[in-house]
Amino acid sequence: MRVISADKISKAVSDLCAKANFSLRKDVLECLKAAYKKEANKKAKKFLGAVIANAYVANKERIAICQDTGLPILFLEVGQDVLIKGDLKKAVNKGVDQGYKKYFLRNSIVHDPVDRKEPGFIPALIHIDLVKGSKIKITLLAKGFGCENKSRLKMFNPTVSFSQIKQFVVEAVKDSGADACPPYVVGVGIGGTADYSGYLAKKALLKPVACTKIRKLESDLLKEINRLNIGPMGLGGKFTCLGVNIETAPTHIAGLPVSVNISCHALRSAVIEL
Amino acid sequence: MEIKIPLDIKKVKQLKAGDEVLLSGVIYTARDQAHKRLSAVIDAGKKLPFDLNGQVIYYCGPTKTPKGKIIGSCGPTTSRRMDEFSEKLLAKGLMGMIGKGGRSPDVRNAIKKYSSVYFLAYAGCGALLSKYVKKAELVSYKDLGPEAILRLEVKDFPLIVGIDSNGRSIYD
């Protein structure tokens, strides 16, 4: 049995807060640079230049990439041979609280969703998965809410064609228009249950955004979305979307849940393994 | 094009959707909860925490201010959520709004009716935009945390005209 202390987990999570919010993911930055090179719309190109400059300023000066430092979502893969000394969930929240305070991020969390008083830094949303082994893998996703507000769920009939699913995803992006900071990264969850497909769509955002080599389903969707001509910041152009990631799961013979979770161009996540 | 605040109505009328401008002067941050409160103050016929006449509101809730900085990351938030309150503020003399994304047909009509303007700021570029803020101070609603109203002095803040005083939108 490997022992990992709660303090060690808190420290790791605190570090992730800085990493996710100050340093744009390499895969996302590469896609943005490629888009900048290829974008023909002059205003859109200038904007993409600003997005890339913003990533450099944030990283160099340790200022948050975006003022919406998100609702911190933590994905924990805990090895079943690990003994955690202390309270795991408390340790994670302590790490988020310390990190968000230490790095001057934003207190965007309201405890009571109805009375909405006194925004704070926690609680984070924590997903815990038990896996084989004796390690803990922690991923922090700082999910902005401008794009979270554009999420979609549809319970399709099992006889649906893939083109109908595609249409649903494209419509979700079309309705987001310029509001949620395009160029987007689109996460799609297919299968499972209503709630689980939402979780899959979110998890899809954690996979590398491969703007060159992707699966056919994903590349078909990407092409179709980029025909919408929403473009960076809604200014028109080739790049409404940087990449589409799909996660699938087994489901029931009677249904086909599909969820869409859109990310703004500032897709921020960071990973650590203990 | 360089624009100074307080906005001059003649200059506002010259602005066309799609124009790139550099804004200098004082702007006020206000987003969801601040709009709800401002709207309630107007409904109650009470005094607003700042005079809206000729002013510009920025839909922004910055991060905490890092040590040695004037302000933290401070990009625009989605404007659409403020749509239901905007006409009321425009009627009180508000002349400009800064945010990101589209607006409702009602807001568009109100912009035309009151000869005002809606600007787009670079969305998701909060770190970069913090460089154009020269001073930041609290005006009101401190309890709202990041949604408090701040007075910002900006210099050459880069914007694009989203909806002009004729109600034309860049997204048309």
Do residues A163 and A215 share a domain? yes
Q: How confident is the model at residue A272 (pLDDT cuts 50, 70, 90)?
A: very high
> Would you call A229 an interface residue with chain B, using a CB distance cutoff of 8 Å?
no
Residues A124, A93 contacting (CB under 8 angstroms): yes
Architecture of domain B2-163: Alpha-Beta Barrel (3.20)
Among A25-39, A177-191, A208-222, B148-162, which is the least confidently predicted range? A208-222
Instruction: Decide if pLDDT at A207 tops 70.
Output: yes
Do residues A90 and A212 share a domain? no
Nearest-Cα residue of chain B relative to residue A267: B124
Do residues A12 and A88 share a domain? yes
> Would you call A17 an interface residue with chain B, using a CB distance cutoff of 8 Å?
no
Give the C-alpha distances (Å, rounded to integers) separating A226 from A222, A237, B62.
6, 8, 31
Distance in angstroms (rounded) separating the CA atoms of residues A107 and A118: 9
> Would you call A179 an interface residue with chain B, using a CB distance cutoff of 8 Å?
yes
Whether A63 and B160 lie within 8 Å, measured CB to CB: no
Do residues A230 and A206 share a domain? yes
Q: How confident is the model at residue A210 (pLDDT cuts 50, 70, 90)?
A: confident
* Averaged pLDDT, B143-151: 97
* Averaged pLDDT, A67-83: 97
Do residues A157 and A124 share a domain? no
Nearest-Cα residue of chain A relative to residue B62: A67
The residue out of A143, A177, A198 marking a domain boundary is A143
* Averaged pLDDT, A253-269: 98
Do residues A160 and A138 share a domain? no
Do residues A109 and A238 share a domain? no
Whether A58 and B127 lie within 8 Å, measured CB to CB: yes
Do residues A17 and A128 share a domain? yes
pLDDT of amino acid A212 = 53
Q: Tell me if A77 is assigned to some domain.
A: yes
Q: How far is A236 from chain B (nearest CA, A)?
A: 8
Instruction: Decide if pLDDT at A103 tops 90.
Output: yes
pLDDT per residue over A47-72, tens digit each?
A: 999 999 999 999 999 999 999 999 99
Q: Tell me if A244 is assigned to some domain.
A: yes
**Is-catalytic flag, B35?**
yes
Q: How confident is the model at residue A213 (pLDDT cuts 50, 70, 90)?
A: low
pLDDT of amino acid A216 = 82
Query: Which one of B12, B23, B30, B35 is the catalytic residue?
Result: B35
Whether B160 and A57 lie within 8 Å, measured CB to CB: no
pLDDT per residue over A116-155, tens digit each?
A: 989 999 999 999 999 999 999 999 999 999 999 999 999 9
Task: Count the alpha carbons within 13 Å of A89 in the hemisphere toward its beta carbon.
Answer: 8
Parent domain of A105: 2-24+65-143
Do residues A128 and A12 share a domain? yes
Q: What is the mean pLDDT of chain A?
A: 96
Do residues A251 and A182 share a domain? yes
Is residue B73 classed exposed, middle or buried when 0-12, 13-18 and 19+ CB atoms within 10 A define those classes?
Answer: buried
Number of domains in chain A: 2
The residue out of A126, A143, A160 marking a domain boundary is A143
pLDDT of amino acid B6 = 84
Residues A56, B50 contacting (CB under 8 angstroms): no
Do residues A7 and A133 share a domain? yes
Do residues A18 and A113 share a domain? yes
